A and B are shown apart, each in its own frame.
Chain A
Amino acid sequence: MEMIAPLIFLALLATAGFLFYKKATLIKKTILMGKSEIQYNEPGRRWKQVLLLALGQKKMFKNPLVAFLHLIIYAGFIIINLEVLEIIIDGITGKHRVFLPFIGSYYSLFINVFEILAFGVTVVCVIFLVRRNILYIKRLSSNDLAGWPKTDANLILVVEIILMSLFFVMNGADQALQNLQAPHYAPTGSFIVSSMLVPSLSQLPIDTLILIERSAWWLHIIGILAFLNYLPYSKHLHIILAFPAAYYSALEPAGKMKNMRSVQNEVLYAMDPSKAPTDAAPPTTFGAKDIFDLNWKNLMEAYSCTECGRCSAACPATTTGKLLSPRKIMMSTRDRLEDVAKNINQNTQFVDDKKTLLHNYISVEELRACTTCNACVEACPVSLSPLDIIMELRRSLIMEESSAPAEWNNTFSNIENNFAPWKFSPEDRENWAKEN
Chain B
Amino acid sequence: MKVNTMAEMMASGTMPEYLFWVGCAGSFDQRAQKITKAFSLILDKVGISYAILGKEEACTGDPARRAGNEFLFQMMAYQNIQVMNAYGVKKIITTCPHCFNTIKNEYPELGGNYDVIHHTTLLQSLINEGKIVLKEGGAFKGKKISYHDSCYLGRANNIYEAPRKVLEVLDAELIEMKRCRSNGLCCGAGGAQMFKEEESGTTRINIERAEEAVATGAQIIAAACPFCNTMMTDGIKNKEKENEMAVLDIAELIAESMA
Contacts and interface: CB of A to CB of B under 8 A. Distances in A.
Interface of A: 62, 252-257, 259-260, 263-264, 266-268, 271, 286-287, 314, 316-317, 319-324, 365, 368-375, 377-379, 391, 394-399, 404-405, 407-408, 410-412, 415-416, 419-422, 424, 426-430, 432-436
Given A254-B155, A266-B71, A372-B190, A324 B66 contact: no
Given A323-B199, A407-B195, A415-B64, A375 B52 contact: no
B76 A255 contact: no
27 contacts: A255-B101, A257-B66, A259-B109, A267-B71, A268-B78, A316-B208, A320-B202, A321-B201, A370-B191, A371-B190, A372-B191, A375-B183, A378-B183, A391-B66, A405-B196, A408-B196, A411-B67, A411-B192, A411-B196, A415-B63, A419-B59, A421-B63, A421-B195, A427-B55, A429-B22, A429-B28, A435-B33
A433 B106 contact: no
Interface string B152-193: 100111100000000000000000000000110110111111
A221 to B, nearest CB: 43
B70 A286 contact: yes
A399 B190 contact: no
Nearest to B109: A259
Nearest to B102: A255
Classify chain B: how many residues form its interface, as a range: 35 or more
A235 to B, nearest CB: 24
B142 interface: no
A411 B67 CA distance: 10
A392 B76 CA distance: 20
Contacts of B106: 256-257, 259
A253 B156 contact: yes
Given A255-B152, A263-B70, A430 B54 contact: yes
Contacts, number: 209
Contacts of A62: 183
A203 B155 CA distance: 63
Given A371-B190, A415-B63, A267 B201 contact: no
B200 A322 contact: yes
Contacts of A377: 155
A252 B105 contact: yes
A415 B188 contact: no
Interface of B: 1-3, 5, 22, 24, 26-29, 33, 36-37, 40, 52, 54-55, 57-59, 61, 63-72, 74-76, 78, 101, 104-106, 109-110, 151-152, 155-158, 182-183, 185-186, 188-205, 208-209
B75 A314 contact: no
A231 B105 CA distance: 38
Contacts of B204: 320
B204 to A, nearest CB: 7
Nearest to A369: B199
Contacts of B37: 432
B27 A429 contact: yes
A31 to B, nearest CB: 25
Contacts of B54: 429-430, 433
B24 A399 contact: no
B24 A422 contact: yes
Contacts of B151: 371-375
A405 B27 contact: no
A264 B81 CA distance: 13
A257 B65 contact: yes
Contact of B191 (A252, A319, A371, A405): A371
A321 B203 contact: yes
Nearest to B201: A321
Nearest to A430: B54
A298 to B, nearest CB: 16
B55 A373 contact: no
Nearest to B191: A372
Considering the complex of A and B, which 4 residue pairs feature the smallest CB-CB distances, nearest first? A255-B156, A321-B202, A372-B191, A398-B68
Given A412-B72, A419-B24, 10 more contacts: A257-B66, A321-B203, A322-B199, A398-B68, A407-B196, A407-B197, A408-B67, A419-B59, A420-B28, A421-B24
A284 B204 CA distance: 38
Most buried by B among A322, A424, A436: A322
Contact of B27 (A256, A322, A430): A430
Most buried by B among A320, A377, A379, A405: A320
B205 A316 contact: yes
Nearest to B98: A255
A423 to B, nearest CB: 10
A146 to B, nearest CB: 19
A405 B202 CA distance: 21
A420 B76 CA distance: 10
Most buried by B among A62, A316, A412, A434: A316
A20 to B, nearest CB: 37
Nearest to A287: B68
Contact of B105 (A253, A407, A416): A253
Contacts of A264: 74, 110
A394 B63 CA distance: 12
B158 A432 contact: no
A412 B69 contact: yes
B105 A395 contact: no
A436 B41 CA distance: 11
A268 to B, nearest CB: 7
Most buried by A among B101, B109, B110, B193: B193
